[in-house]
Structures are given as structure tokens and as C-alpha cells.
Amino acid sequence: MMNNGSNKLDPQQVVAEFKDIPPMPNVMVKALNVIKNPATGIAELGKIMQMDQAIATKTLMLVNSAFYGFRQQITSINKALVVLGMMKAKNIIMSLALKKMMTAQGSRELWEHSIKCAIAAEVLAKEYRVINPDDAFVIGFLHDIGKILLNTKNPLKYSKVRYLAQQSNVDLVEVEDAQFGTNHCILGALISKKWQLPVILTNCIRYHHDPVQSSLPTLCGVVYCADRLVQNIIPNPILNPKIMSKIEFTIQDPIALRETILAKANIFLKEMSGA
């Protein structure tokens, strides 16, 4: 156990210290409202996307890439939405809408890791059928959103925290607790509540480092596994046997799965770069 040299802080107090916590990006709010309302549809979502040139352009690039592998060239947003479906389109919007926030208040590495984890969670959901793959993408993408608060509070200190966790092979959450009095899982769950995201999403953000503590261990386990599989430095062990014994699926060859996920994620990131 690390020595805690700082006073333990109330997570709510930590969040309250941020007077400029960014709201959910407007384009993402609009997209979610369209999807929630059964009276609206693809045409309305298309209008929202077309109002943001970067999102429209990158969506067309992605839908025509090897990531999806459609045979015909797709040249309009409305046609892209038809072949993608509302939920996948929403996930692309979210990935791009939050990129600026994640890179400005976290780092480009945070955004890229979030994309990789989103795709990993989607792959795991398809393979093991424990959650809708589109929902898994969202949870995977937002799992580390709390890191932007710690990085904004003290970028130099948080950079040292990340370095210390990597060098000492100590769980990042433990180092965050010791240095900040809270951690990105707690803060991420609070952001999720502030944005009025689903309870399941908040739960998975809160417990993705320790799914066993959740009332939904298997769903949190999807995010836990996704997060571990796409780390730049492969953890040892990749998957904690104690955690895996409590969730409802087994990964036989994590190294092979990691390679498949990263190959897919790299295509997505290539098409989204520069947005």
C-alpha cells in the first residue's frame, strides 16, 4: 500500500473546485435528444451532423474505410446514416465531439486510449453477448473521463502520477488516491451523473478498475477487460484471475484478441485523425 501523503478529499468537494467543468458538447446533446425522441429520425440526425463540417467529413471517411468494409462508395450523410444506423452514428458523433475536450483537458493519448477501449468493449460485447455492442462502445469510450478533472487540477502532478503508476506497477487508482485524495473512477462517475447519463454507464465508469465491487460485475468486466487489453504497456497478468472468476465470460487468448482489437482501432484512429 502506498503512503498517502495528502489529506483524503470528498470527491464532491473535488468536483466543486472546478468552476469550469465542461458541459456535454452541444452537438452530442442534440444527437442524444434526437435518438431519445421516437418522433424524430435519421433525417434529423443528418441535419445535426451536417451542421458540423468536421463530423460530417470524418463520418464519410470512416464509413468508406476498411473499418466497416462496405462495398459501395457512400457519398452523403443521410446514406451513411442508413447503412450505419442511428446508434453507430451517435457513437461516431460522440467520439469526435469529445475529442477536443479530451485532448485539451487531458491529452491526445487519453482520447486515443478511449477510442481503443471503446472498440475493444464493442468487440467483447459482440463476442460474449453480455451487453449491446453499441452501448459497450459508449461505456468503453467514456470509462476514463474522470482523468480530465485530475489533469486540469494539476497537469504536472498528474503526469507524475501516471509515470509513477507505470514505473512501480501499482494500480493507477491507488496512486491517484494517494496524491489527490480521490481517483478518476469516482470523478468519472460524478461527471456521468452531471451529464445525466444512464445509471449502468455510471456504474461501469465507477467500477471499471474493480468490477467485483459493482452490482453489475460482468458488465463492468467488459470495460475492465477492454481497458487492460489495449494498454500501451501490457499489464502482467493482462487479466486478473480473481476478477475474471467473478464475471460471466472467459477470454482464452488475450494476446491474439489484443492484436485484433488494435488493428481495428488503428483504422478508426487513422480516419479520425485531424478532426
Find the domain containing 80 and state its range.
Answer: 22-96
Q: Which of 124, 59, 131, 61 is nearest to 94 (CA)?
A: 59
Over range 199-215, report the average pLDDT: 96
Note whether 131 and 241 are same-domain residues.
yes
Q: Which residue has the higher pLDDT, 139 or 86?
A: 139
Is residue 208's pLDDT more than 90? yes
- Residue 100 pLDDT: 85
- Residue 209 pLDDT: 96
* Residues contacting 150, CB < 8 A, separation 6+: 158, 161, 176, 180, 183, 184, 187
- Residue 3 pLDDT: 43
Note whether 91 and 172 are same-domain residues.
no
Task: Calculate the average pLDDT of the chain.
Answer: 88
Over range 24-44, report the average pLDDT: 83
Asked whether residue 125 is assigned to any structural domain, the reply reads yes
Asked whether residue 3 is assigned to any structural domain, the reply reads no
Is residue 232's pLDDT more than 60? yes
pLDDT digits (tens, 9 = 90+) for 117-144: 999 999 999 999 999 999 999 999 999 9
Task: Answer yes or no: pTM beyond 0.85.
Answer: yes
Note whether 130 and 189 are same-domain residues.
yes
**The total number of structural domains that make up the chain:** 2
Over range 155-172, report the average pLDDT: 89
CATH value at residue 209: 1.10.3210.10
Is residue 24's pLDDT more than 90? no
DSSP output for 97-148: HTHHHHHHHT-HHHHHHHHHHHHHHHHHHHHH-SS-HHHHHHHHHHTTTTHH
Asked whether residue 127 is assigned to any structural domain, the reply reads yes
Asked whether residue 248 is assigned to any structural domain, the reply reads yes
Is the separation of the CB atoms in 225 and 251 below 8 Å? yes
